[in-house]
């Protein structure tokens, strides 16, 4: 099962957000959120917000357990 979340109108350049996003691929969601909280980049807050949104979508819409969630793909366009 794949769950998606999007952020629109983020006022950070995609290049800066990609630096954060690349480090989070294939991590469990809980580890990715912890990693975002310790990153010195401002873009990490925006990425963490989208990850929390996807986690909430998985829990509320698909009845998935949050401990089993893994970031399969993360894109910045």
Q: What is the pLDDT of residues 3-53, one digit of tens each?
A: 999 999 999 999 999 999 999 999 999 999 999 999 999 999 999 999 999
Q: Is the Cα torsion angle 19, 20, 23, 24 positive or negative in sign?
A: negative
Give the residues across from 5 on adjacent strands: none
pLDDT for 73: 96
Q: How far is CA 68 from CA 2, 6, 20, 27, 71, in A?
A: 12, 21, 22, 11, 10
Q: How far is CA 55 from CA 16, 29, 71, in A?
A: 23, 8, 10
Superfamily, domain 14-68: Ribosomal protein L22/L17 (3.90.470.10)
CB 38 within 8 A of CB 67: no
SS3 (DSSP) at 6: coil
> Is the pTM above the cut of 0.85?
yes
């Amino acid at each position: 099962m794949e769950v998606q979340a999007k952020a629109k109108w983020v006022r950070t350049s995609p290049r800066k957000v990609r630096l954060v996003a690349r480090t989070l691929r294939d991590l469990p969601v809980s580890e990715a959120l912890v990693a975002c909280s310790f990153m010195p980049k401002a873009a990490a807050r925006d990425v963490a917000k989208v990850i929390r949104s996807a986690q909430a979508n998985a829990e509320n819409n698909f009845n998935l357990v949050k401990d089993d969630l893994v970031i399969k793909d993360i894109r910045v366009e």
